[in-house]
Amino acid sequence: MQRCAWVNLNNPLLVAYHDEEWGRPVHDDVKHFEMLTLEGAQAGLSWETILNKRAHYRKLFARFDPLKVSRFSPEKVEKLLTDPGIVRNRLKVESAISNAKAFLKIQKEFGTFDDYIWGFVNHKPIRSPLSDMISKDLKKRGFRFVGSTIIYAYMQAIGMVNSHSPDCDFSNANPSWHVYILRCADNSLYTGITTDVQRRLLDHQDAKKGAKYLRKRGPFQVVFQQLIGNKSQALKIERWIKSLSKGQKETLVKKGVIDVDLTLD
């Protein structure tokens, strides 16, 4: 699988972050606050360093609930600064608290932070940076550690900007493909590939859009799905699954994962 050059393939956390999160649109306010906080903590450091500390950050920062973080006391700050599991920088820790308060004000004004932030790009991902504008606006609203570089990294992380390299299997030019298995009402199994499993499931419920095999076999249930990478790889794995017996397919469904190396031989 081809990935962006910055991915350290020896770090499973970084690989999973690239494949499953980076560049995918975020519309959850808690996730927005988490990424703003972590991007701020990253200033002067590598993202891999922060990602390795992410689980501990979630534990110490109330799973990034902005309301709870906004109520952190000076005593709480001093305790956080003694914990080696996070970046022990007083300004960064204190900015997370003041940013949480500013975050809550934006929620009150716009309904959600998501409506506010995505409003800068008319609610559609872009390829041109607006980090200067967003940075200035956030600073006016009381945020700290939200310089243009940090905000651009945040925009990349939440999918506002598509920065996957053209040869990456996760870029728009090379959308990521999934292989999936449906269980039909008659207990038969159907295998297919798609870039969007839920959308394809809806298609199958339409006699004109769905697979011919599935007509009058509904309702369907997704019993297996796995992210593969590019279409060529997905097609190879689809053919491999279709070559299996019903019992072997049931074993695969129960196992829940494909050994990609074996199936691509």
- Burial of residue 119 (number of CB atoms within 10 Å: 0-12, 13-18, 19+): exposed
Please list, in sequence order, all residues whose beta carbon lies within 8 angstroms of the beta carbon of residue 20, skipping any fewer than 6 positions away.
227
Cis preceding-peptide flag for 125 (omega within 30 of 0)? no
Catalytic residue check, 109: no
CB 128 within 8 A of CB 97: no
Provide the token pair at 130: 């607006």
Beta bridge partners of 181: 191, 224
Please name which of 159, 115, 146, 151 lies closest in space to residue 130, comparing C-alpha atoms: 151
**Given 17, 21, 48, 94, which residue is catalytic?**
17
Catalytic residue check, 21: no
**Whole-number Å distance between alpha carbons of 170 and 140:** 35
**Given 21, 22, 34, 39, which residue is catalytic?**
39
Catalytic residue check, 47: yes
**Given 21, 47, 48, 94, which residue is catalytic?**
47
**Residue 207 region by backbone torsions, left for phi larger than 0, else alpha for psi between -120 and 50, else beta:** alpha
Please name which of 163, 146, 164 lies closest in space to residue 39, comparing C-alpha atoms: 146
Pure H helices in 192-245: 197-204, 231-242
Residues with active-site annotation = 17, 39, 47
